[in-house]
Copies of this chain bind each other. A is one copy, B any other.
Amino acid sequence: MRTSQFPLNTVKETPADAEIASHQLMIRAGLIRKLAAGLYSWLPLGLRVMRKVEKITREEMEKAGALEVLMPGLQPAELWQETGRWEQYGPELARLKDRHQRDFCLGPTHEEIITDLARNEIKSYKQLPITYYQIQSKFRDEIRPRFGVMRSREFIMKDAYSFHLDQESLQHTYDTMYQAYTNIFNHLGLKFRAVIADSGSIGGAVSHEFHVLADSGEDAIAFSTDSEYAANVEKAEAVAPTGSRATATEALTLVDTPDQHSIEEVCGFLNIPATQCLKTLIVRGEEDTLVALLLRGDHNLNEIKAAKIDGVISPLQFASDEEIAGACNCKPGSIGPIGLKIKVIADHSVILMSDFVCGANQDGKHYKGVNWERDLPVPDHVTDLRTVVEGDPSPDGKGQITLARGIEVGHIFQLGTKYSEAMKAGIINEGGKNQIMIMGCYGIGISRVVAAAIEQNHDDKGIIWPANLAPFQVALCPMNMHKSERLKEASEKLYRELQAAGIEVLFDDRKVRAGFMFSDMELIGIPHCIVVGDRGLDSGTVEYKARTADANEEIPFADVIDFLKAKLA
């Protein structure tokens, strides 16, 4: 391609609403343009990149044996009513009425549609297992669309759905998909982690998220220093400590802690480390009860874990000040477990504490030198309540937890029978009986991958595309070609040779200054740049610069193709 025929839409200004690097760079490099809040048009350069993500994804789906289909974006309400999601789904579901006043929505996902298709097409166990996928526009009416295509209202997804006779078959396809996803992100050249995830509102027991690692990522990921273990921080297990409790050395004392409410304030006031202070939080339980959750002062409550405890309301609801006053006779800053009349649930770390500090259930007072068994009973219910921190042992016993930030670009779920049961998607099994199918589902945010790749790979000059994502592999930049017929001829010849060699080359034949040309090529992130100039022609050389290198290299003109082929191999 030539820039005269494939015009670049680079701009100098960073749009005011672009908060993160990928959003800024996608606008500046001319990959996308905003149409309205959360709605973007893909310009030719951006679409070239997205098509590469699609292609790599499609190849791996085919290899995994998935069959491509294309379902409508417009979905009738009736199917969503069958699963109950018409009512459950919030305002993110864009709804509309057709001219006959029938209810439809714009699909954010296609579980209902594929389950309907499957219950009609799949009649016998002999047709199982089967996996369908599609690559398509999805819609989500975000309350606050932002970060460009990272959180937009219309986006491109690859979604796949599998149907099975039994859990073993689901696990097999799930593993195949896990491997396909791993291949996709490897092939895309992205640093990523597959992490154990919470399956959230989609349902199902087992799920993994695929995160592209980037400091700006919205999600925190915990992974092991020494093993493959990785989990969303929401889900990462804090292993119960193995040591034993130290013997009590202090006496139980009631101390004044006037106006000291937070853990930091109390620890500062009493001059103790946060590890020595107990944190007591009151949440709502079922049947109008309250529940006290105990954590070590330096640990944070993991609300997802807490909400999964029997008897605790999910999603987690914190008690109001009035409810706390009613149950503990004090304000939130002075609660403690001694004498507390409500159910108490302790994190594993808590029961190894000794000589600790906790609230005294009297405003402005705490206990010091508290010890389990001597001063209060060890709680009956001890579990994992906290969010993991750096240095925690890895749950698989290998290495320690380290934290990173990630951008979720893929998610695979073992759905089980949530949708097939609700929609009566059954088949005749080998015994001639009707049996509900078991399902899996597997998504990749195709458009989001483009943004995540930039978030991970950029510098102050612009985008640094991984080889397989670059819109062009090589930029051919002649310097002042319009002033030198000889240079023009040599450049055109080299362009033809590069094309003939199957190299995706962008020939910058614009009449612009060299500096302008280079900064455009850096901004749009072309991995390899060949600079041809009159001086080089004299010595029979061109200059080569890798996007990531600081300095140029001189290459004999005659070697350019072989040199680039080696670089691209």
A: residues with CB less than 8 A from B are 5-7, 9, 33, 35-36, 39-44, 47, 50, 65, 67-76, 91, 94-96, 98-99, 104, 106, 113, 116-117, 120-121, 127, 130, 132, 136-137, 139, 141, 143, 153-154
Contacts and interface: CB of A to CB of B under 8 A. Distances in A.
A99 B143 contact: yes
Nearest to A71: B41
Contacts of A72: 35-36, 39-41, 137, 154
Of the candidates A74, A91, A130, A141, the one having the most CB atoms from chain B within 10 angstroms of its own CB is A74
Those 3 A-B pairs whose CB atoms lie nearest each other, nearest first: A96-B96, A42-B70, A44-B67
Contact of A41 (B33, B43, B70): B70
Contacts of A73: 73, 137, 154
Of the candidates A43, A47, A143, the one having the most CB atoms from chain B within 10 angstroms of its own CB is A43
A41 B314 CA distance: 36
A68 B47 contact: yes
Contacts of A44: 67-69, 132
Contacts of A116: 35
17 contacts: A6-B67, A33-B121, A39-B72, A39-B74, A40-B72, A41-B72, A42-B70, A42-B71, A44-B132, A47-B68, A50-B70, A72-B137, A73-B73, A74-B139, A94-B98, A95-B96, A96-B96
Of the candidates A94, A99, A106, the one having the most CB atoms from chain B within 10 angstroms of its own CB is A99
Contacts of A67: 6-7, 44
Given A35-B71, A39-B72, A94 B96 contact: yes
A36 B120 contact: no
A113 B74 contact: no
B96 A69 contact: no
A104 B136 CA distance: 20
A136 B73 CA distance: 11
A422 to B, nearest CB: 17
A121 B153 CA distance: 23
Contacts of A117: 33, 35, 41
Nearest to A139: B74
A139 B107 CA distance: 14
Nearest to A75: B35
Contacts of A41: 69-72, 113, 117
Contacts of A6: 67
A413 B100 CA distance: 32
Contact of A33 (B91, B120, B139): B120
Given A35-B71, A96-B96, A137-B137, 16 more contacts: A5-B65, A7-B130, A33-B120, A35-B113, A36-B72, A36-B104, A41-B69, A41-B117, A44-B68, A47-B69, A72-B154, A74-B94, A74-B153, A98-B153, A99-B141, A136-B137
A514 B74 CA distance: 40
A114 B277 CA distance: 62
A160 to B, nearest CB: 13
A221 to B, nearest CB: 30
B120 A74 contact: no
A433 B143 CA distance: 43
A39 B154 contact: no
Of the candidates A47, A72, A106, the one having the most CB atoms from chain B within 10 angstroms of its own CB is A72
Nearest to A51: B68
A149 to B, nearest CB: 11
A41 to B, nearest CB: 4
A538 B556 CA distance: 63
Contacts of A120: 33
Nearest to A143: B99
Of the candidates A121, A130, A143, the one having the most CB atoms from chain B within 10 angstroms of its own CB is A121
Contacts of A36: 72, 76, 104
A427 to B, nearest CB: 13
A64 to B, nearest CB: 11
Of the candidates A33, A69, A130, the one having the most CB atoms from chain B within 10 angstroms of its own CB is A69
A69 B42 contact: yes
A98 B141 contact: yes
A153 B72 CA distance: 10
Nearest to A9: B121
A504 to B, nearest CB: 14
Of the candidates A69, A70, A120, A139, the one having the most CB atoms from chain B within 10 angstroms of its own CB is A70
A219 to B, nearest CB: 24
Given A6-B67, A33-B120, A91-B99, A76 B39 contact: yes
A104 B96 CA distance: 10
A121 B143 CA distance: 29
A36 B78 CA distance: 10
A65 B44 CA distance: 12
A350 B104 CA distance: 54
A482 B277 CA distance: 73
